[in-house]
A and B are shown apart, each in its own frame.
Chain A
Amino acid sequence: MGQEKTVLGSIHISPAAIASVVYQAAYQSYGVVGLAPKNLAEGLASSITHDPNRGVNVAFEDGKLIIDIYVILEYGTRISSVAQSVQNAVRFSVEKHIGLTVAEVNVHVQGLRVSNPD
């Protein structure tokens, strides 16, 4: 849980709140066409989710913020470049909007969407 002490008390930021920021940032990255559920059991119903908490995992370990994001990318883009852009965008957004330092952004490419086979 993100926590901060101020003179008036403390501020808690829930993983769900952070996940929403992550979700928005990921969709701003070119090449990302969807977020995917973290595991198969969750994903049987649908392969592309619109609930930010289902494609994003936010964890605090030893006071460090670790974000895992599960994405579907467009077929035909350079996966490594897109994944790097996602890392940059997510880290930048979370630090800008929430003010917490992000220790890790792990991008899991769960699948590719093929709009046009070459």
Chain B
Amino acid sequence: MQNKTIDGTMLRSLMEAGQVWLKTNHQMVNALNVFPVPDGDTGTNMLLTMNAAVAEVNQNGNSSAGTTAAAFAQGALMGARGNSGVILSQIWRGFSRSLHGNDTINAQQLANAFCEARDTAYKGVVRPVEGTILTVTKDIAAEATEAVKDTDDAVEVLRRCVIAADRSVASTPEFLPILKQAGVVDSGGKGLFFILEGMVRYIDGLSLEEATFSVKPLSAMDLENALEDVEEGQDWEVVVDFKPNDGFDLGTFYKGLEDLGTSIQVGEGEGMYRMHIHTLLEKRYEPIDYIMGIGVITKVAMENLLAQMDDIETSAKHNTIELENVQPGQIAVITVSPGTGISRVFASLGAAAIVGGGQTMNPSTKDILEAFEDLPTDKVIILPNNKNIILAANQAKDVTVKQVRVIESKTIPQGLAAMLQANPDGDLDKIADKMAKSLKYVITGEITTASRSVEIDGVNVKEGQVIALMDGKLAVSSDSLEHACMLFLDKAEAQDHELITIFFGAEMKHVEANRIADLIRERYSNLEVELQEGGQPHYQFIISIE
């Protein structure tokens, strides 16, 4: 009779295992979201709910299964986050109610608890949508009811429920066209599956800390970054799209692949799978042969990674910019930048996304919107860094459901000054306020060549002359670049400030920029003068005076 029932202590371990396994896999659940709503972090919401539930069990659980389940349900209720978290807490509430007063859980009682969980979950909504976590709950309860006809072992019932949950999750796209279109399964259902699977993995003594294999929606496959993990000798990349035959089992498939190479990724969508692997030169056809045996291949792509790596290493060193990785709830700063050097400075100060654009290439509202719509937070600050882009930024603010503040920075130096005040963890309005106030502490100089002859604000300019704009207004003109810089710095009363930062443009030579920077250093020896590669077009220099 050993192990046929579950007592409070074991239930507690199972719940914990479910939570840990969900934690291991919650990013994958997040990746399944197809609805662009702010409540989109299903995996995270379910995990936070489970965390609260487990914390409560650790406080108030005991050797009685009924008491432990009640503590678990209470914790889940108190910690429920988001739609999926609320549903999960309802599931556990029904589950625990059914177990009230029981010291142990036998097979029949477990089945009853799953049925009660289903009934309670369905009661919380007027129009239940099938193809969601509710459907999975229903299928689990049905399987549990069937299972008790065959066994009196509660663990065996749980095992069968996990299999049913897996099948049910796989069927969700049949109910919801939007899932089918996106090539994913329901995220909430998948989260529930992981919780139950974690319990069985615990019983079987399997690891809960490491995802064994991960199948992602095709859109979430990250083949570009997989390059970073190229191991010695594994210098061929093979990607195969295929439609599996009946009886295809992912676990077995994965094990087979492990003998062939490394950096394995499998994605699924619309009835087909995509396999990615790194393999040895002489083994490069083996994955194809292997997959031919289990399905119909629709497409094969092969590449020599070593050759590719050389290309990437030379270009990546210059072009990859490490953006701030914002977490849910944090403030993301989106900034517009006209050149790679300036982008890099913004990134080093913590920008979460950078939109290319500037004087002659204004980004659209859509460009700006796309930069932040997919970030995992709903608090966003936009730095347009050009007066012609402020409008687009404000429009992006108007169409999104996220909370957006636009700091009306009109120049790159203003944007950088504002960026220095950014803090991902502060209060959105306070930070935005601080950033907006910082704009006036910086003077901007933009040095460029006049495209036509004109006289504005008493400054006479001939076509082809070098001009300097101070905070957007024409300030000085001159025949030489260095002279224009000096005149501008004079006019801006640079000597009364502390720091001059010079960003040189894409058309400037480094040596020439250095020479002019040295002249400025000589003249303003009491100031700090910094020269940076800005990479912006049209403007030889963008100068910031603080």
> Which of B97, B129, B401 has the most A CB atoms < 10 Å from its CB?
B401
Cβ of B124 < 8 Å from any Cβ of A?
yes
Q: Which residues of A contact B38 (CB under 8 A)?
A: 88, 92
Cβ of B127 < 8 Å from any Cβ of A?
yes
With both beta carbons as reference points, the residue of chain B lying nearest to A86 in the complex is identified as B83
Cβ of A10 < 8 Å from any Cβ of B?
no
Judging by beta carbons under 8 Å apart, are B86 and A77 in contact?
yes
Judging by beta carbons under 8 Å apart, are A33 and B86 in contact?
no
Q: Which residues of A contact B39 (CB under 8 A)?
A: 84-85, 88-89
Which of A1-9, A11-19, A24-32, A53-61 interfaces with chain B? A24-32
Which of B73-81, B419-427, B532-540 interfaces with chain A? B73-81
Cβ of B123 < 8 Å from any Cβ of A?
yes
With both beta carbons as reference points, the residue of chain A lying nearest to B126 in the complex is identified as A27
Q: Which residues of B contact A91 (CB under 8 A)?
A: 401
Judging by beta carbons under 8 Å apart, are B401 and A74 in contact?
no
Min CB distance, A63 to chain B, in Å? 12
Judging by beta carbons under 8 Å apart, are B77 and A30 in contact?
no
Chain A residues with a Cβ closer than 8 Å to the other chain, count = 25
A residues sitting closer than 8 Å to B (CB atoms) are: 27-34, 74, 76-78, 81-82, 84-85, 88-89, 91-92, 95, 101, 115-116, 118
With both beta carbons as reference points, the residue of chain A lying nearest to B93 in the complex is identified as A76
Judging by beta carbons under 8 Å apart, are A77 and B124 in contact?
yes
In the docked arrangement, what's the CA distance between A92 and B401, Å? 6
Judging by beta carbons under 8 Å apart, are B83 and A92 in contact?
no
Judging by beta carbons under 8 Å apart, are A77 and B401 in contact?
no
Cβ of B82 < 8 Å from any Cβ of A?
yes
Judging by beta carbons under 8 Å apart, are A32 and B78 in contact?
no
Min CB distance, A94 to chain B, in Å? 10
Q: Is the interface of A mostly helix, strand, loop or mixed?
A: mixed
Q: Which residues of B contact A115 (CB under 8 A)?
A: 120, 123
Contact of A76 among B83, B90, B129 (CB under 8 A): B90
Residues from 312 to 330 in B contacting A, C-beta threshold 8 Å: none
Contact of A85 among B82, B94, B129 (CB under 8 A): B82
Closest 5 CB pairs of A and B: A78-B80, A74-B124, A115-B123, A81-B80, A85-B83
Q: Which residues of A contact B127 (CB under 8 A)?
A: 27-28
Residues from 462 to 520 in B contacting A, C-beta threshold 8 Å: none
> Which of B86, B129, B398, B401 has the most A CB atoms < 10 Å from its CB?
B86
Min CB distance, B102 to chain A, in Å? 15
Q: Which residues of B contact A95 (CB under 8 A)?
A: 399, 401
Min CB distance, B97 to chain A, in Å? 6
Q: Which residues of A contact B371 (CB under 8 A)?
A: none
Q: Which residues of B contact A30 (CB under 8 A)?
A: 83, 86-87, 90, 124-125
Judging by beta carbons under 8 Å apart, are A33 and B85 in contact?
no
Cβ of B37 < 8 Å from any Cβ of A?
yes
In the docked arrangement, what's the CA distance between A105 and B94, Å? 31
Cβ of B409 < 8 Å from any Cβ of A?
no
